[in-house]
A and B are shown apart, each in its own frame.
Chain A
Amino acid sequence: MHIADGILSAPVLIGGGVVAAGGTAVGLKKMDMDKIPRVAVLTAAFFVASLIHIPLGPTNLHLILNGLVGLLLGWACFPAILIGLLLQSLIFGFGGLTVLGVNTVNMATPAIIVYLVFNRFIRGNRRIISIICAALAGVFGVLLASLLTAFSLVFSGEEYINIAKIVVVGHIPLMAVEGVVNVAIIMLLRKVKPEVLEVPHAVYE
């Protein structure tokens, strides 16, 4: 899902940086100091979860889980994803610092959308609606992220149109897997510890 350094044009890099900074500012503002340990440890957990190999036929893939990040962290998903990508770059050294803003926007915007659309239904009483919304949240998180990634490529140069198509098509299997895994995760959380599904900045009655 990550775009590497040296591909995108200046306007896309700058635009991504500005939007990422704005989203992160909103996320930080909505998050009180006493929620920092919770957001930080969950960020670490998502980082670890994205390292797990998931078998798919002869190959394996890694989860992005950005839909779930949105559901669990709400607006704090912007700083969480920014930090996840930054640490990934520093720990594994694949680069990605010039595109940090763009990659953050590409993954965090779908997370926010998923949070705004599905959060209420997932925590609701009807189990079947919760299951459907959990699956949709997983699918849409990856689908929107791959579309945004494809747009960032095409806006940087028309010659990237084929790579952009490969990015979207290549993520279709992951969308299906994320949908299934997301349902299992949400059903477990609902049963075992529903508090985890309450985003840190919301006030619930």
Chain B
Amino acid sequence: MIIENFAEGKSLLHTTDPRIKICLCVPYIFVIALSNSLYTAAAAVLIALSLIIISGLRLGNVLKSIRVFFWFILLLWVVLPFSIPGDQIIRLGPLRASSQGVLKALAISLKSTAIVFFIIAFLGTTKVFSLVHAMSHFHMPKKLLYLTFLSYRYIHVIYMEYVKLRDAMRIRGFRPKTNIHTYKSIGYLIGMLLIRSYERSERIYNAMLCRGFHGRFYLFEHFAVTGRDMVFLSIMAATLMGIGWMEWITKIM
């Protein structure tokens, strides 16, 4: 399982304080998600794309990692033009595609692409552990943070446990097909995975108690905001205001 393939790097985005990145990412994605103008959406895609380029990530790798996302965009393009009444542009038997529908599909595609790019540029360039640490500075509930931290910590471990069980089944000649036997076997596999996870969690908790756990995790690394971070924050905040202004202008036009 590939995890955090974008978090390694030395670019501006990789080295910016994670707290600043969260402070930028959240307003950015919500402003874009709620915008209505096609121009705003297009501008947002361009800004997000430039951030990806600045972060030194290979665009090919980024697109490859979000390929599932494009199936969803395709579904929108297949359904929406025929769902919105308006000026007819294409006719397929009883179905009529409207230009309004095409514009709506275009707007949503641009908006969701921009949001996905922004999340990769701001959060994908940060290690998940650093993000959890950064969230603790925003006064998130302690239990939620510990839960996030431990879940993430054990995903890979449990995945390897799954690989072990899956390989054991393959060695014994299991070939998944569309039948009850397959579904039952996969059910038993998941059941065993849950039992092993349950037993592992008991060992983890005992190990934590042995090391003196009393409801608190200690941090050894601390973040520091640099002058460069503040410059980056100001520029990106100004850009966001520009996007907001653009949305406002196109609305009253």
Which residues on B sit within 8 Å (CB–CB) of A189?
191, 194-195
Interface presence of B224 (CB below 8 A): no
A193, B157: Cβ atoms under 8 Å? Answer: no
Which chain B residue lies CB-closest to A166?
B79
Binds B, one of A38-46, A105-113, A120-128: A38-46
Residue in B120, B161, B205 whose CB lies within 8 Å of A93? B120
What is the number of residues of chain A that contact chain B, defined by CB distance less than 8 Å?
74
Which chain A residue lies CB-closest to B189?
A52
B120, A13: Cβ atoms under 8 Å? Answer: no
State whether A54 and B119 are in contact (beta carbons under 8 Å apart), knowing that A28-B144, A40-B147, A48-B193 are contacts in the complex.
no
Which chain A residue lies CB-closest to B179?
A55
Which residues on B sit within 8 Å (CB–CB) of A116?
none
Which residues on B sit within 8 Å (CB–CB) of A186?
191
CA of A74 to CA of B197, assembled, Å: 17
Which residues on A sit within 8 Å (CB–CB) of B6?
93
A188, B188: Cβ atoms under 8 Å? Answer: yes
Nearest CB on A from B204, distance (A): 5
A159, B104: Cβ atoms under 8 Å? Answer: yes
CA of A166 to CA of B152, assembled, Å: 33
Nearest CB on B from A138, distance (A): 10
CB pairs A–B below 8 angstroms (22 shown): A4-B72, A5-B111, A6-B32, A37-B202, A39-B147, A41-B158, A41-B200, A42-B198, A45-B197, A51-B1, A63-B190, A87-B151, A91-B3, A92-B65, A93-B65, A97-B26, A98-B115, A182-B187, A184-B185, A184-B186, A188-B188, A189-B194
